[in-house]
Structure 1
Amino acid sequence: MADSAVDARMRMVAGAADMIGRRGVNATSVRELAKHTGAPLGSTYHYFPGGKGQLAAEAVRWADDLTARMLAPAMAAGPTEGLDVFLGMWRKKLVDSDFQAGCVVLGVAVEATADGESVARDAAVFAFGNWTSILAGALRERDVEPTQALGTATLIVASVEGAVAMCRAERTTQPLDTVGQELHRVVRSVLVEAAG
C-alpha cells in the first residue's frame, strides 16, 4: 500500500476513534466518517470491507496502541509515574475536546452488540486487558504479589474509565482529579505493603 493510501487509511481509523469516543458506535456512520475525515465514501468501503464493525475494531486497536506506547515507558519508571501519565492523558483529552471526547474502547465495549461488531468488542476486551497488564506488570516489578497487582491494575483502569464518563457529564476534571488522588493512595499503600 502506498504511503498516501496508508496515510488516508490511518486518518480514517483515527477519525473513527474520535467519532466513536465522542458519539458512540451506534451514532457513527461510515458516511459521516468519510465526511469527517475528508475521504471519498468509496475509499472507506475499499479500506474497510468489513464495514463499521471492522472500522470500530481498528479504531480500538489504534487507541490501544497509542495508549500502550504512552503507558509502557512511564510504567518502566514506576507505577506512580505510569499512573500520572494515564491520568494526564485523559485529563488532556477531556480538556482539549471541551469534555466532548471520551474513550473509544469504552464506547465500543458498551455498544458493540451486533454480530458483525463482535470483532470490535473483542478488540475492546483486548485493549482493556493490555492496559491492565501493563499496569500490573509495573506493580509486579516492585514486588507486588501477582493477584494484588492484577486487582490494583483493574481498579485503576475501571476507575479512570468511570471518571472520564463522569467528567464528560459534569464538564469538569474534578471526578478524574479525585479518582487520581485516591488511586495514588491505593498504589502507595500497595507498594509499602510489598516493600514491608
Structure 2
Amino acid sequence: MANDTRQRLLEASAQLFREQGYAGTGLKQITTAGGAPWGSLYHFFPGGKEQLGAEAIAHSGARYERLFELTFARGGEDIVQCVRDFFQLSVDALEKSGWADGCPIATVAMEVASTSEPLRHACAEVFASWEAAFARGLAGAGIPPERAAELATYALAAFEGAIVLSRTTHDTRALRITAEVVATTLRAELPAA
C-alpha cells in the first residue's frame, strides 16, 4: 500500500509537470491528483517538492526510455522507421492532449536549468540516458559507435526542439518535418546493405 501511494505521487507529479511545468504545479495539487493524504508527500519525499521533482523526472525518463527501446524492438532492422514511429508517438500525444502532453523532461528542464541544481542534474541524467539508448539503437543498425553517439545527440536535440515548436504553435508540422529530416539523415549514415 505504501509503495502504491508513493508510485501514485510520482506518476501524478510527472503528469502535472509535463502538462503545466514544475513551478505551475503545487504540492496540494499533486496529492489530490495522486489520491494521497497530504502527510504522505513528506513521508515519502522528506526533501519536499525538489526531491519529488527529481524523482519524478527520473521516473518519467525511465518510462520514456523503455518506450523508445520498445519502439526500436518492434521496428526490427529498419532504424529509420523506428525513428519515424517515435516521432509519431509525440505527434499523437500532442494532438490527443490538446497540446498539453509535451516532453516530461524538457518542460521541467527549461524552467529549472539555472535555478535548481538537483533538478537540472536529474534532467541532464535522463537526457544522457536517452542519448545512450538511441546511440545503442543506431550502433545496432551498423553505424560506428562514435558516429552513432553524435547522431543520437543530433536526433534528440531535433526531437526536443520540434516538440517545443509544435506545442507552442499548436501544430505538429515541426515534428513531422523534423521526423523526415532526421530519418533522411540517418538513412544516409547507414552502411550499404
Is the pair's TM-score, using the shorter chain for normalization, greater than 0.5?
yes
Correspondence for 1:174:
173
Q: Residues of 2 paired with 1:161 and 1:108: CA distance?
A: 12
2:105 aligned counterpart, secondary structure: helix
Correspondence for 2:96:
96
Q: Residues of 1 paired with 2:85 and 2:10: CA distance?
A: 24
Q: What displacement does 1:178 show?
A: 0.9
Structure 2: runs of 5+ lacking an equivalent: none
Correspondence for 2:68:
71
Q: What displacement does 1:86 show?
A: 2.1
Q: Residues of 1 paired with 2:35 and 2:70: CA distance?
A: 34
Q: What displacement does 1:135 show?
A: 1.0
Structure number with higher helix proportion: 1
Q: Among the aligned pairs, what percent are the same residue? A: 28
Q: TM-score scaled by structure 2?
A: 0.89
Q: Residues of 2 paired with 1:195 and 1:169: CA distance?
A: 39
Superposition RMSD on alpha carbons, in Å?
A: 1.9
Q: What displacement does 1:125 show?
A: 0.8
Check whether the contact 2:113–2:119 (CA below 8 A) recurs between aligned residues: no
- Structure 1 runs of 4+ with >6 Å offset: none
Q: TM-score scaled by structure 1?
A: 0.88
Correspondence for 2:160:
161
Structure 1: runs of 5+ lacking an equivalent: none
Matched ranges for 1:1-196 at <5 A = 4-76=1-73, 77-78=76-77, 79-112=79-112, 117-191=116-190, 194-195=191-192
Q: Residues of 1 paired with 2:168 and 2:113: CA distance?
A: 24
Check whether the contact 1:82–1:135 (CA below 8 A) recurs between aligned residues: no
Q: Residues of 2 paired with 1:155 and 1:122: CA distance?
A: 20
Q: Residues of 2 paired with 1:113 and 1:90: CA distance?
A: 23
Name the CA shift for 1:85/1:51 in 2 (closer, same or farther; >3 Å): farther
1:143 aligned counterpart, secondary structure: coil
Total equivalences in the alignment? 190
After TM superposition, the structure 1 stretch with the greater mean CA deviation from structure 2, 72-81 or 90-99, is 72-81
